[in-house]
Amino acid sequence: MLAPLGKMLILASLLVSAAGALLGFAAGRTRSREALLWARRFAYAFAALMGLATLTMEYALLTHDFRVSYVEHVGSRLVPTWVTIVSLWSSLEGSILFWGFVLGIYIAVATYLTRGQYEDYQPDAIGVWLSSAAFFSFLIAGPASPFGVVANPPLDGPGPNPLLQNHVLMAIHPPFLYLGYVGMTIPFGFACAALLRGRLGHSLLKPLRASLMVPWIFQTIAIMLGGWWAYEVLGWGGYWAWDPVENASLLPWLTATAALHSIVVVERRGILKGWTVTLIQATFLLVILGTFMTRSGVFNSVHSFTQSAIGPTILAFLAASILFVVVLLAFRIDRLETEGRIEGAASREAMFLVNNLLFVLLTFTVLIGTVFPLVVEALKGKQMSVGRPYFDSMVVPIGAALLFLVGIGPALPWGRATREQLKNALLPPLFGAGLFAVIGYILNIRAPWTLVTLAFGGYAAQVTLGQMLLTVLQRTKRGESAAAAFVDGNLRRGRRRFASYIVHGAVTVAIIAIAVSSSMRQTTELAFTKGQTLRASGYDLTFLGFEQRQEPHRAVTGARFRVARDGKVVATLEPKMNQYQMMREPVGSPAVYSTAAGDLYLSLANLDVANESVFITVYAAPLVMWIWVSVILMGLGALFSLVPARRATAVQSRESVPAAAETA
Amino acid sequence: MNRTVFAIGIVIAAAVVGVLFAGLGKDPAVIQSPLIGRSAPTFALQEVGTGRTIDIAQLRGRPLVINFWATWCGPCWEEHPVLVATARRLQPNVQFLGVVFQDQEDKILGFLQQRGTSYPTLVDVKGKTALAYGVGGVPETFFLDANGTIVAKYAGPMDADTLQANLMKAMR
Residue A352 lies in a domain: yes
Q: Is the pLDDT of residue A578 over 60?
A: yes
pLDDT score at A54: 97
pLDDT score at A215: 97
B2 CB neighbours in chain A (<8 A) are: 329-331, 333-334
For residue A394, the distance in angstroms to the closest alpha carbon of chain B comes to: 21
Give the bridge partners for A527, in sequence order: A615
The radius of gyration of chain B from alpha carbons, rounded to an integer in Å, stands at: 20
Q: Which of A178-187, A419-428, A639-648 is the least confident region?
A: A639-648
A319 CB neighbours in chain B (<8 A) are: 13, 17
Q: Is the pLDDT of residue A383 over 60?
A: no
Q: Do A207 and A149 share a structural domain?
A: no
Burial class (CB within 10 angstroms; exposed 0-12, middle 13-18, buried 19+) of A566? exposed
pLDDT tens digits for A116-150? 888 889 999 999 999 999 999 999 998 889 999 98
Residue A466 lies in a domain: no
Q: Do A227 and A290 share a structural domain?
A: yes
Q: Is the pLDDT of residue A658 over 50?
A: no
Q: How many domains does chain A contain in total?
A: 3
Q: In A, what residues contact B, Cβ < 8 A?
A: 73, 157-159, 289, 292, 296-300, 304, 306-307, 311-312, 315, 318-319, 322-323, 325-327, 329-331, 333-334, 371, 374-375, 377-378, 383, 581-585
pLDDT score at A545: 93
pLDDT score at B172: 73
Percent of chain A with pLDDT over 70: 92
pLDDT tens digits for B41-50? 889 999 988 8
Residue A591 lies in a domain: yes
What is the longest distance spanned by two Cα atoms in chain B?
77
Q: Which helix (H) or strand (E) holds A622?
A: strand A613-622
Q: Do A588 and A558 share a structural domain?
A: yes
Q: How does DSSP assign A237-306, residue by residue?
A: S-S----HHHHHHHHHHHHHHHHHHHHHHHHHHS--HHHHHHHHHHHHHHHHHHHHHHHHSSS-STTPPS
A648 pLDDT tier (thresholds 50, 70, 90): very low
A297 pLDDT tier (thresholds 50, 70, 90): low
pLDDT tens digits for B73-96? 767 877 888 899 999 988 888 999
Cross-chain Cβ contact A583/B102 below 8 Å: no
3-state per-residue secondary structure call for A179-193:
HHHHHCHHHHHHHHH
**DSSP three-state, residue B93:** coil
pLDDT tens digits for A543-573? 999 998 887 777 889 999 999 999 999 999 9
Q: How does DSSP assign B15-62, residue by residue?
A: HHHHHHHHHHHS-TTB---TTTTSBPPP-EEEETTT--EEEGGGGTTS
Which of B2, B6, B20 is the closest to A292 by Cβ? B20
Q: Do A154 and A188 share a structural domain?
A: no
Q: Is the pLDDT of residue A661 over 80?
A: no
Residue of A213 and A476 predicted with greater confidence: A213
Q: Do A123 and A30 share a structural domain?
A: yes
Chain A, chain B: beta-carbon pairs less than 8 Å apart: 96
Which of A298, A332, A370 is most worth mutating to test chain B (most B CB atoms within 10 A of its CB)?
A298
pLDDT score at B79: 86
* Total-model pTM: 0.82
* Domain boundaries B29-171, CATH class: alpha beta
Those residues whose C-beta lies under 8 Å from the C-beta of residue B56, and which sit 6 or more positions away, are B40, B42, B43, B44, B64, B66, B97, B148
What is the longest distance spanned by two Cα atoms in chain A?
82
Separation of alpha carbons A532 and A545, rounded Å: 10
- State mean pLDDT over A464-476: 87
Q: Which of A63-72, A474-483, A615-624 is the least confident region?
A: A474-483
Which domain does A572 fall in, by range?
Answer: 522-625
Q: Is the pLDDT of residue A307 over 60?
A: no
Mean pLDDT score of chain A: 87
Burial letters for A230-264: b for 16+ Cβ neighbours within 10 Å, e otherwise? Answer: bbbbbbebbbbbbbbbbbbbbbbbbbbbbbbbbbb
Cross-chain Cβ contact B23/A298 below 8 Å: yes
Q: Do A196 and A140 share a structural domain?
A: no
Helices (H) and strands (E) in chain A, counts: 22, 10
Give the pairing of strands B44-47 and B53-55.
Answer: antiparallel
Residue A540 lies in a domain: yes
Q: What are phi and psi of B57, to 5 degrees?
A: -60, -25
Q: Is the pLDDT of residue A404 over 90?
A: yes
Cross-chain Cβ contact B17/A292 below 8 Å: no
- State mean pLDDT over A321-332: 94
Q: How does DSSP assign A113-172, residue by residue?
A: HTTTS-TTTHHHHHHHHHHHHHHHHHHHHTTT-S-PBPSS--SS---S-HHHHS-THHHH
Can you give the CATH number for the domain in which A537 is found? 2.60.98
For residue A327, the distance in angstroms to the closest alpha carbon of chain B comes to: 7
Cross-chain Cβ contact B23/A374 below 8 Å: yes
Which of B24, B27, B137 is the closest to A315 by Cβ? B24
Closest alpha carbon to A118 in A186, A44, A29, A205 = A205
Q: Do A187 and A85 share a structural domain?
A: no
Q: Which of A114-123, A384-393, A541-550, B94-103 is the least confident region?
A: A384-393
pLDDT score at B31: 60
Q: Is the pLDDT of residue A649 over 50?
A: no
Cross-chain Cβ contact B17/A319 below 8 Å: yes
Q: Do A73 and A10 share a structural domain?
A: yes
Residue A154 lies in a domain: yes
Q: Is the pLDDT of residue A654 over 60?
A: no
Q: Is the pLDDT of residue A500 over 80?
A: yes
Q: What is the DSSP letter of B149?
A: B
Q: Do A157 and A262 share a structural domain?
A: no
Q: How far is CA A395 from the centre of its chain?
A: 18
Q: Do A314 and A180 share a structural domain?
A: yes
pLDDT score at A664: 34
- State mean pLDDT over A626-648: 85
Sign of the dihedral through C-alpha A639, A645, A646, A652: positive
Residue A379 lies in a domain: no
A655 pLDDT tier (thresholds 50, 70, 90): very low
Instruction: Confirm whether the ipTM is greater than 0.85.
Output: no
pLDDT score at A470: 84
Separation of alpha carbons A496 and A637, rounded Å: 9
A298 CB neighbours in chain B (<8 A) are: 20, 23-24, 26, 28
Q: Is the pLDDT of residue A490 over 90?
A: no
Q: Which of A489-493, A521-525, A540-544, B13-17 is the least confident region?
A: A489-493
Q: How far is CA A323 from the centre of its chain?
A: 26
Percent of chain B with pLDDT over 70: 93
pLDDT score at A7: 95
CA angle in degrees (0–180, nearest 5) for A534-A536-A542: 35
Q: How many C-beta atoms lie closer than 10 Å to residue B116's C-beta?
A: 12
Q: What are phi and psi of A541, to 5 degrees?
A: -110, 130
Q: Do A184 and A142 share a structural domain?
A: no
For residue A319, the distance in angstroms to the closest alpha carbon of chain B comes to: 6
A284 CB neighbours in chain B (<8 A) are: none
Which of A297, A325, A334 is the closest to B2 by Cβ? A334
Q: Is the pLDDT of residue A299 over 70?
A: no
A650 pLDDT tier (thresholds 50, 70, 90): very low
For residue A385, the distance in angstroms to the closest alpha carbon of chain B comes to: 12
Q: Is the pLDDT of residue B13 over 90?
A: no
pLDDT score at A325: 95
pLDDT score at A659: 39
